[in-house]
Structure 1
Amino acid sequence: MPIPTEAAVDGLVLIGAYLDELAQQRRQSPHTISNYRRDLRALLSLLEEQPPEACAGSLLRLHTAHIRRFVGVLHGRGLSGRSLARMLSAWRGFYRWLGVRGRIEANPVDGVRPPKSPHPLPKVLSPDEANRLLDHASDEVVDLRDQAMFELFYSSGLRLAELVALDLSCQQELLEGEIRVLGKRNKARLVPVGRKAREAIDRWLARRGELAAPGENALFVGQRGARIHPRVVESRIGIRALAQGLATGVHPHMLRHSFASHMLQSSGDLRAVQEMLGHASIASTQVYTHLDFQHLAKVYDAAHPRAKRKEGE
Structure 2
Amino acid sequence: MTPIAPHITAFLRERLPLQRGASEHTCDSYAYAFQLLFEFAGKRLRLTPSALSLEQIDAKLVMDFLQHLETERHNGPRTRNARLVAIKSFMRFIEHRVPALLEQSRRILAIPAKRTDSHLISYLSMDEMQTVLNAPDLQRHDGIRDRAMLHLCFSAGLRVSELVNLPINAIEWQPSPNVRIMGKGRRERLLPLWKQTCVDLRAWLAVRGPAPATELFVNARGQPLTVATQNDVGPDAQSRGLSDAN
Q: TM-score, normalised by structure 2?
A: 0.51
5 Å-filtered alignment, 1:135-150, equals 135-136=134-135, 137-150=137-150
CA apart distance, 1:156: 0.8
Q: Report Cα offsets for 1:100-129 as digits up to 9, x if no partner.
A: 9xxxx9997773525522234446444333
Would the aligned equivalents of 1:19 and 1:37 in 2 still touch at CA under 8 Å? no
Q: Report Cα offsets for 1:171-211 as digits up to 9, x if no partner.
A: 543782311111123222111211221111111111111xx
Q: Report Cα offsets for 1:269-292 as digits up to 9, x if no partner.
A: xxxxxxxxxxxxxxxxxxxxxxxx
- Unpaired stretches in structure 1, ≥5 consecutive residues: 1-14, 28-35, 44-78, 94-99, 243-247, 253-313
Name the CA shift for 1:115/1:160 in 2 (closer, same or farther; >3 Å): closer
Q: Does 2:151 align with 1:165? A: no
Would the aligned equivalents of 1:174 and 1:193 in 2 still touch at CA under 8 Å? no
Give 1:129's aligned residue. 128
More helix by share: 1
Query: 2:196 is aligned with what amino acid?
Result: K
Q: Report Cα offsets for 1:143-174 as digits up to 9, x if no partner.
A: 11111111100111112232233333345437
CA RMSD of aligned residues (A): 4.7
CA distance in 2: counterparts of 1:141 and 1:16, whole angstroms: 46
Aligned length: 172
- Bigger radius of gyration: 1
Would the aligned equivalents of 1:178 and 1:193 in 2 still touch at CA under 8 Å? yes
Q: 1:19 aligns with which of 45, 48, 55?
A: 45
Would the aligned equivalents of 1:222 and 1:229 in 2 still touch at CA under 8 Å? no
Give 2:217's aligned residue. 220
Name the CA shift for 1:231/1:133 in 2 (closer, same or farther; >3 Å): farther
CA distance in 1: counterparts of 2:190 and 2:203, whole angstroms: 23
Name the CA shift for 1:156/1:119 in 2 (closer, same or farther; >3 Å): same
5 Å-filtered alignment, 1:156-305, equals 156-173=156-173, 176-209=176-209, 212-213=210-211, 215-231=212-228, 239-240=235-236, 250-251=240-241
Name the CA shift for 1:225/1:144 in 2 (closer, same or farther; >3 Å): same
Q: TM-score, normalised by structure 1?
A: 0.41
Would the aligned equivalents of 1:181 and 1:188 in 2 still touch at CA under 8 Å? yes
Name the CA shift for 1:112/1:148 in 2 (closer, same or farther; >3 Å): closer
Q: Report Cα offsets for 1:85-108 as digits up to 9, x if no partner.
A: 679x8xxx9xxxxxx9xxxx9997
CA distance in 2: counterparts of 1:16 and 1:228, whole angstroms: 33
